[in-house]
Structure 1
């Protein structure tokens, strides 16, 4: 017969285990995402050093967006089968390697390899599909909404922390050395690979659940209109956030503002996304997730409209970055929550990885078109108009989603 003291100890142990999982997952996302989201600061120095042109370098960054997305369904499937720990270990090492060798690259192909394949692919392996699915496997169901918000906030905290660190390193040691120091910092995430080991096969065996195969889960998801609409909306999110993360420093420079506003604006994006992500993690358990997503996309459209008509002062830039930060990646908790609600946690890493792929296809277009538009027109105005139209479309697209548990169609 257990005593009150033993019950209290068990409760404390469970709470400690939950927080260790969250710390490991959020910390990993903080380091990998924080490093990736500072890359916009290196766009101009890379152009000066290589002479390749903003359009060519933007292509390398765009491939990074695409590879980050392409990696996640496969990384999710591997994590579901062989365990998250091995996948995360490989991903962290690839991020560090790709970031470290980037200053040595002098061609577009070399930058695509270091930024677009190694670093971005590694970040995809250690990205939200694997991290959030692992958290859903290790954390009780009633805590999963807040858990996804906290993990997502970890990525934002990384951006908030790493952007000014990268800016300071660039001023003190030059852009190349700064990038290599960031590569070493990423290795601090290695212990998380041990804490987050395990896979969904073990979870199903422990619970007595017979899992749906990965191929059947994918086929069932791709036949479901709600899942497809959710994925299409996340495409718009990717277009928006990748364009901002890569080109916001360029937008600020084109307005004639000092370069430090670029780093500060990226930091504001990260800081306020912490607030947005945690708030959204709390909200997903209280309101319909599709309604929250519609509101977020509508807010983005309105914020960009107001930005276009306001004078481009330093204060306006920082306030705009703060508002964008509130909606920046706060789409992730309700999107991940809907995937888990539709299909359960067993194949979530794979199915959310596919949704992340659509996000990154949008990211590829946002980064690449941003560079092309700037080279052709000397400004980013056309990109803002496209962004407004896409955001309004995404707000409307989420309204017909049927928010209920779905059964994947078997082959």
Structure 2
């Protein structure tokens, strides 16, 4: 059999492709999910306010969101391996430089811009787009859930690891170790090299990038999906960065914060896999509305209850089941509407909305804490956004875009 006729790795060994993609998602998601563990040591050593650290992580979220559509467009055009490798190197450099950031400007460059750009090129968003292009259709719902769950396992693994390493070797050295770990992305990315599976009937292989963007942003359901995803980013970034400090303010230890973040990641493995499974068995708009509504209830109950290790861990479990469970139905809806040709780019624009929310969640968390001495206002804003997003997702129409006709 000639090389040209040889089936792709995704056809011959789809499980291997999924496993390598999951390893990339785990490694890249872990350190950024640990950012809250580094806030108090860094601000304590340098005398910064939480707003200074929060602004750097807010910049990270915003740059991650800005860079993702462009990284997705490059991956759509030239393949994911180059994008993943460059992203991993930039991410690693950002982590190492963060260890030596003794000024707010340097922190904004390292933890903010560099890690943000690195994430845009090597996070689970690119991995999920690769799954959508490479894997046979029957593998995609499970792969989307598995890739998202793998990122959650990184969140389970890295925060307590970061807390332990901070105590054992110091936060500077911990960041350097995480930087070298990031280079593992490069060998795993080789499994994602290959051609896409056969083009779906809804795809337009010759469609230009400009035409694809015009079609997407003229599509009402896509715009609603993008707007709803804003809330997900707001909540995830705020909780990841500020929850450990919030729990310390309520009289708990840093280890409780680390384990709460870890439990969120562990529970989300179940939530993401379950969401991927449900995405192929029920209307995705109803699934998204239910997730956002349940998040709002969970956050409201958590804020109203007295703080304790038990309530924190229970909150982590409940929120974890809903944490990244929005990703499989969101990416699945983008693929259903527009096909796989520009999946990485179009999902990237949805993710940009997510990261604008993340920017505001982290930044407002630090800013309002310094002004009001409390996170309460941001918690209740998060509850209100949850209920708004639940309503926004209900009118979405779940069908492929009608080419040449007025979109739904």
SS of 1:256 mapped into structure 2: coil
Q: What CA deviation, in whole Å up to 9, does each residue of 1:175-220 have, x standing for no partner?
A: 11111111111112211222112466x9659x99633221111110
Matching of residue 249 in structure 1 with residue 211 in structure 2: no
Which residue of the other structure, out of 251, 266, 272, is the alignment partner of 1:277? 272
Matching of residue 304 in structure 1 with residue 276 in structure 2: no
Q: What CA deviation, in whole Å up to 9, does each residue of 1:7-30 have, x standing for no partner?
A: xxx99x877611111111111111
Cα 1:291/1:107, change in 2 over 3 Å: same
Q: State how far apart, in whole Å, the 1-side matches of 2:203 and 2:100 are.
A: 52
Cα 1:383/1:409, change in 2 over 3 Å: farther
Q: Which region of structure 1 is more displaced relative to structure 2, 187-196 or 168-177?
A: 187-196
| 2:11–2:136 Cα contact (<8 Å) kept | no
Q: What CA deviation, in whole Å up to 9, does each residue of 1:217-260 have, x standing for no partner?
A: 11100011100000000001100111011111011111010111
Matching of residue 373 in structure 1 with residue 368 in structure 2: yes
SS of 1:129 mapped into structure 2: helix
Matching of residue 177 in structure 1 with residue 173 in structure 2: yes
Alignment partner, residue 123 of structure 2: 127
Alignment partner, residue 323 of structure 2: 328
Cα 1:372/1:379, change in 2 over 3 Å: same
Q: Which region of structure 1 is more displaced relative to structure 2, 381-390 or 399-408?
A: 399-408
Matching of residue 215 in structure 1 with residue 178 in structure 2: no
5+ residue gaps, structure 1, are: 1-9
Alignment partner, residue 378 of structure 2: 383
1:92-131 to 2 correspondences below 5 Å: 92-131=88-127
Alignment partner, residue 31 of structure 1: 27
Q: State how far apart, in whole Å, the 2-side matches of 1:179 and 1:134 are.
A: 29
Q: What CA deviation, in whole Å up to 9, does each residue of 1:27-84 have, x standing for no partner?
A: 1111111111101100111101222211111100100010111111000000011110
Matching of residue 406 in structure 1 with residue 392 in structure 2: no
| 1:72–1:127 Cα contact (<8 Å) kept | no
Which residue of the other structure, out of 189, 197, 215, is the alignment partner of 2:185? 189
Q: State how far apart, in whole Å, the 1-side matches of 2:278 and 2:362 are.
A: 30
Q: State how far apart, in whole Å, the 1-side matches of 2:274 and 2:20 are.
A: 20
Q: State how far apart, in whole Å, the 2-side matches of 1:395 and 1:351 are.
A: 21
Which residue of the other structure, out of 56, 63, 68, is the alignment partner of 1:67? 63
Q: State how far apart, in whole Å, the 1-side matches of 2:84 and 2:384 are.
A: 37
Q: State how far apart, in whole Å, the 2-side matches of 1:153 and 1:27 are.
A: 11
| 1:129–1:350 Cα contact (<8 Å) kept | no
Q: What CA deviation, in whole Å up to 9, does each residue of 1:93-142 have, x standing for no partner?
A: 11111001112111111111101111121111112332111111111112
Q: State how far apart, in whole Å, the 1-side matches of 2:353 and 2:203 are.
A: 33
Q: State how far apart, in whole Å, the 2-side matches of 1:369 and 1:63 are.
A: 12
Alignment partner, residue 266 of structure 1: 261
Matching of residue 313 in structure 1 with residue 308 in structure 2: yes
Q: Which region of structure 1 is more displaced relative to structure 2, 209-218 or 289-298?
A: 209-218
Alignment partner, residue 76 of structure 1: 72
What TM-score do you get using the length of structure 1 for normalisation? 0.93
Q: Which region of structure 1 is more displaced relative to structure 2, 274-283 or 178-187?
A: 178-187
Cα 1:356/1:249, change in 2 over 3 Å: same
5+ residue gaps, structure 2, are: 1-5
Alignment partner, residue 3 of structure 1: none
| 1:29–1:154 Cα contact (<8 Å) kept | yes
Cα 1:102/1:203, change in 2 over 3 Å: farther
SS of 1:79 mapped into structure 2: helix
| 1:204–1:211 Cα contact (<8 Å) kept | no
| 2:203–2:339 Cα contact (<8 Å) kept | no
Cα 1:17/1:319, change in 2 over 3 Å: same
Cα 1:27/1:43, change in 2 over 3 Å: same
Q: State how far apart, in whole Å, the 1-side matches of 2:233 and 2:217 are.
A: 20
| 2:124–2:151 Cα contact (<8 Å) kept | no
| 1:73–1:129 Cα contact (<8 Å) kept | no
Matching of residue 45 in structure 1 with residue 48 in structure 2: no
Alignment partner, residue 237 of structure 1: 232
Aligned length: 399
